[in-house]
Amino acid sequence: MIHASEPTALTRPGAIVPDISLASRLFDELRRRTGGPGGITRTSYGLGEQIAHDMVRREALRLGMRAETDAACNLYLTLEGETGGPAIMIGSHLDSVPSGGNFDGAAGVLAGLAVAAGFVAAGRRPPVDLTVMAVRAEESTWFGASYIGSRAAFGTLTSDELDGVLRAGDRISLGAAIDAAGGDTARIRTGQPYLDPARIGLFLEPHIEQGPVLVAEGLPIGLVTGIRGSFRHRHAACHGTYAHSGATPKSVRQDAVLATSRLVVEMDAAWQALQDAGRDLAVTFGQSATVPGEAAFSKVAGRTDFALDVRSEDSETLDVMRAELRRIAGRIEQQEGVRFEFGPETGSTPAKMNPAVIAEMAVLTERLDVPARAISCGAGHDAAVFARQGVPTAMVFIRNRNGSHNPDEAMEIADFAKAAEVIAALCETWGSADTAAAA
Ligand SMILES: [Zn+2]
């Protein structure tokens, strides 16, 4: 997969060349204006996010694009297309976590802007309207709610959330924050959608990779196959019986630590088997502890508390693991004389990315000699909201060191350029015979 690649856009006659210097200049300005010694902070519906929105609006207007906002202050920057068919939307969010990095979110918006600028520089229109969307309030760290901007755009943000959800730090309600930013919560409360899924031919979210896969494999970009859903037990427990460690024979012990450990090991084996069978899965026991004050060095443990997080791109795989959990736990209960109590289940539904669009992008990466691989996405993104609305949706991951949500995010601009080049080619050929299956 790893091979040297030339800047092929420049060598394809008439190809749209994304304006990488524009994006690079905006990344620098974002860092200067929304960063500090501790990292980047672009608060949802706060100062940093607003600075970022104002910047991309300013640049889009310079390019002759049309700027619109909806009632939740999501920003839509549109370059008019040759025809009036369903639009191509490229976007992501411009907020960040507190003391985060410069690229999470912003890379997606600036990739869209770079591609639009490429069309403008070439004096050409995209085949259909090309709308760069800057989504509001994606980072749930601020309001404790997911996908605020994109759900508002589709009319599914609720009055309960507008009134009941408060921003970390200043404790301002979501509704008050939206109105203060110039939005119109009265309109959001009507549930009237701003976006019509039928008018969107493609939603594409470029984003930095938040895991280590592309760095480890030496690949500049990844084509996301799906956004993982999950089922979780945040407050699970294993009940055994406390007993003297020296005086209690093995045959009569009801050891909660042993039982929990067996559960962890056997769930791991079930994961391995499904992964070997080609399924996408991640199983994590992120917390596991005995009870302070009850447990002791010389006691058989009578109780453990633990948390379980199971994620997959595929609903059926989640169902299989849910059944495996019951089966394995039931057997361990019988053998070890303990009782598992899993508590309430929470989770989310997986979102499939559009296979035809992924296939088309795979063809383009080969044609452009950009090394890439299919990759699963383990974190939530606005793309999931678009996919669930029935919009053909895709994500491109850009190689990034050191993970995300921290000041050490490190995306190379050369990798960003490769992603933008593939996206430009996709936009340029959108709706032609090549992409007919996808459109
Ligand atoms: Zn993000």
Tell me how far the alpha carbon of residue 394 lies from the centroid of ligand 1, in angstroms. 15
Report the pLDDT value the prediction gives residue 1, as an integer from 0 to 100. Answer: 39
Tell me how far the alpha carbon of residue 370 lies from the centroid of ligand 1, in angstroms. 23
Tell me how far the alpha carbon of residue 145 lies from the centroid of ligand 1, in angstroms. 14
Tell me how far the alpha carbon of residue 106 lies from the centroid of ligand 1, in angstroms. 8
Residue length, the chain? 439
Tell me how far the alpha carbon of residue 411 lies from the centroid of ligand 1, in angstroms. 13
Secondary structure letter of residue 221 according to DSSP: E
C-alpha to C-alpha distances, 411 to 34, 85, 209, 235, nearest whole angstrom? 18, 34, 9, 37
Tell me the C-alpha distance between 211 and 141, whole Å: 19
Tell me how far the alpha carbon of residue 155 lies from the centroid of ligand 1, in angstroms. 21
Tell me how far the alpha carbon of residue 51 lies from the centroid of ligand 1, in angstroms. 17
Report the pLDDT value the prediction gives residue 55, as an integer from 0 to 100. Answer: 98
Report the pLDDT value the prediction gives residue 103, as an integer from 0 to 100. Answer: 97
Tell me the C-alpha distance between 106 and 42, whole Å: 10
Q: What is the CATH number of domain 229-348?
A: 3.30.70.360
Tell me how far the alpha carbon of residue 103 lies from the centroid of ligand 1, in angstroms. 8
E-strand ranges in 125-217 read: 130-135, 200-208
Tell me how far the alpha carbon of residue 282 lies from the centroid of ligand 1, in angstroms. 20
Asked if residues 63 and 114 have their Cβ atoms less than 8 Å apart, the reply is: no
Tell me how far the alpha carbon of residue 236 lies from the centroid of ligand 1, in angstroms. 30
Confidence band, pLDDT 50/70/90 cuts, at residue 146: confident
Please state the domain extents for the chain. 8-228+350-435, 229-348
Report the pLDDT value the prediction gives residue 13, as an integer from 0 to 100. Answer: 61
SS3 state of residue 193 = coil
Secondary structure letter of residue 291 according to DSSP: P
Torsions phi, psi for 437 (to 5 deg):
-65, -35
What's the mean pLDDT in 391-396? 98
What are the residues facing 310 on neighbouring strands? 231, 283
Tell me how far the alpha carbon of residue 23 lies from the centroid of ligand 1, in angstroms. 17
Tell me the C-alpha distance between 303 and 296, whole Å: 11
Asked if residues 399 and 223 have their Cβ atoms less than 8 Å apart, the reply is: no
Confidence band, pLDDT 50/70/90 cuts, at residue 138: very high
What does the CA dihedral 136, 140, 144, 146 come to, rounded to 10 degrees?
A: 70
Tell me how far the alpha carbon of residue 207 lies from the centroid of ligand 1, in angstroms. 7
pLDDT in tens, 189-201: 999 999 999 999 9
C-alpha to C-alpha distances, 385 to 91, 318, 396, nearest whole angstrom? 13, 20, 16
Instruction: Residue 311: count other Cβ atoms within 10 Å of its Cβ.
Output: 24
- 355: its two tokens: 């296979």
Tell me how far the alpha carbon of residue 314 lies from the centroid of ligand 1, in angstroms. 22
Longest dimension (CA), the chain: 85
Confidence band, pLDDT 50/70/90 cuts, at residue 12: low
The 3-state secondary structure of 93-122 reads: ECCCCCCECCCCCHHHHHHHHHHHHHHHHC
Tell me how far the alpha carbon of residue 293 lies from the centroid of ligand 1, in angstroms. 41
What's the mean pLDDT in 292-306? 97
Q: What percent of the chain lies above the pLDDT cut of 90?
A: 91
Tell me the C-alpha distance between 263 and 310, whole Å: 14
pLDDT beyond 70 at 137: yes
Tell me how far the alpha carbon of residue 96 lies from the centroid of ligand 1, in angstroms. 8
Report the pLDDT value the prediction gives residue 268, as an integer from 0 to 100. Answer: 98
Burial (Cβ within 10 Å: 0-12, 13-18, ≥19) of residue 249: exposed
Tell me how far the alpha carbon of residue 296 lies from the centroid of ligand 1, in angstroms. 43
Report the pLDDT value the prediction gives residue 124, as an integer from 0 to 100. Answer: 95
Tell me how far the alpha carbon of residue 174 lies from the centroid of ligand 1, in angstroms. 19
Place of tokens 């945040």: 234
What are the residues facing 384 on neighbouring strands? none
Asked if residues 129 and 75 have their Cβ atoms less than 8 Å apart, the reply is: no
Q: What is the CATH number of domain 8-228+350-435?
A: 3.40.630.10
Confidence band, pLDDT 50/70/90 cuts, at residue 433: low
Tell me how far the alpha carbon of residue 192 lies from the centroid of ligand 1, in angstroms. 26
Q: What per-residue string of b and e applies to 27-63 under the rule 16 or more CB within 10 Å gives b?
A: beebeeebbeeebbbbbbbbebbbebbebbbebbeeb
pLDDT beyond 50 at 5: no
pLDDT in tens, 25-65: 999 999 999 999 999 999 999 999 999 999 999 999 999 99
Report the pLDDT value the prediction gives residue 154, as an integer from 0 to 100. Answer: 98
Q: What angle do CA 274, 385, 227 make, to 5 degrees?
A: 20
Asked if residues 374 and 182 have their Cβ atoms less than 8 Å apart, the reply is: no
Tell me how far the alpha carbon of residue 139 lies from the centroid of ligand 1, in angstroms. 7
Tell me how far the alpha carbon of residue 104 lies from the centroid of ligand 1, in angstroms. 5
pTM, rounded to two decimals: 0.86
What's the mean pLDDT in 396-414? 95
Report the pLDDT value the prediction gives residue 432, as an integer from 0 to 100. Answer: 79
Tell me how far the alpha carbon of residue 205 lies from the centroid of ligand 1, in angstroms. 10
Tell me how far the alpha carbon of residue 8 lies from the centroid of ligand 1, in angstroms. 29
Is the pLDDT higher at 10 or at 34?
A: 34
